[in-house]
Amino acid sequence: MPPSSSPPHLWRGRSAGGWIALIAGFVVGIPLTLVTGVVLLALAVVAAVVALVVRLIGLAAAWVWFVVQRSRRVPYPFPSPPPVRRRARRVALSGLYLSLVPRTIGGIARLAGWLLAPLALGVSVAGVAFPRW
């Protein structure tokens, strides 16, 4: 009957061929990785510059469009009156109330992010440090 498991194999060190392959890997791999990183960094800088130029051109086009449209429109002759009557106040306050809802939800989400970020970081570190419970 064969044994249930094979005997343990002890590591006897690297052979001469293993050392040659390791050194060749370092000699080729380190400069290749460095050059690849520098090329990717240069591409990222070029992409950021192109994105900035496109954004500035879009911003300038938006301002030109705004100036052209503003010159075409007839300006409103007088400012809107303040809400002095009951119905006008109700409409104005209703608009404020409706705009308050998304702002409140956004504020709660930001606060939850600030409060829960340390917990999320701790859980991720624990997951890396202790992969099994």
Per DSSP, 15 falls in state: -
Grade residue 80 by pLDDT with cuts at 50, 70 and 90. Answer: low
Q: Would the pLDDT of 132 be above 90?
A: no
Which is nearest to 83 in space by CA: 98, 93, 72, 75? 93
Residue for token pair 């303040």: 82
Q: Would the pLDDT of 133 be above 60?
A: no
**Rounded Cα–Cα distance for residues 43 and 21 (Å):** 32
pTM given for the model: 0.42
Residue 5 φ/ψ, nearest 5 degrees? -140, 155
Residue 110, pLDDT score: 94
Residue 91, pLDDT score: 73
Taking only the tens place, the pLDDT of each residue in 100-126 is 888 899 999 999 999 999 999 988 888
Dihedral sign of CA atoms 106, 108, 111, 115 in order:
negative
